[in-house]
Amino acid sequence: MKECYDIAVLVGSLRAGSYNRMLAQALAGLSPAGMNFRFVEIGDLPLYNSDLDTDAPPAAWTRFRGEMRGADGVLFVTPEYNRSVPGALKNALDVGSRPMGESVWKGKPAAIVTGSPGAIGGFGANHHLRQPLVFLDMPLMQQPEAYIGNVAKLFAQDGSVASDGTRDFLKSIAEAFAAWVAKFA
């Protein structure tokens, strides 16, 4: 067992003031010791095009792939766009899975947390994201499931979690993810 696990956090929302980014920050802050969370940006990644995947791929792809290779686990926190994942997140999966045989995802334990201003909590995005992660050979935490509805009401003005009940639920997710990473990393 490692002393400290390096966790890459990918947030599907690129919006300034993103509720999902606040959710990811809260999860990182509530995690047990031994988990180092670092947010990996995906908004600057050019759309995947195999014609660009040469000996000199786009610099943003090289940066992203390098950052992901070093991760012991991955936390995906995303909203739902049209009953699926945002395009930027899907593009990050594609960029990281190529070139063929050099996927940065293989074997990395992962968890998905979806947040939505609506009541369903990003259920569609959560389940759509599971499909490519299974194909990419990422051991995916099954429980507790995390569909966070009414996410806009969960945070105080300063971005902190507004209620003890929400904080306790997020802490249970963070603790389960830490155990999951320790099991598979």
Residue ranges of domains in the chain, CATH in brackets = 5-184 (3.40.50.360)
Spatial separation of the C-alpha atoms in residues 175 and 142, rounded to whole Å: 13
Report the DSSP beta bridge partners of residue 65: none
pLDDT at 109: 98
pLDDT at 121: 87
**Using CA atoms, how far apart are residues 77 and 184, in angstroms rounded to an integer?**
20
Segment 12-17 shows an average pLDDT of: 94
Q: How does residue 52 score in pLDDT terms, banded at 50, 70 and 90? A: very high
pLDDT at 2: 82
pLDDT at 1 over 80: no
Dump pLDDT digits (tens) for 108-167: 999 999 999 888 889 999 999 999 999 999 999 999 999 999 999 999 888 889 999 999
Long-range contacts of 28-32 (CB under 8 A, 24+ apart): 28/75, 28/174, 30/167, 30/170, 30/171, 30/174, 31/174, 31/175, 31/177, 31/178, 32/174, 32/175, 32/178
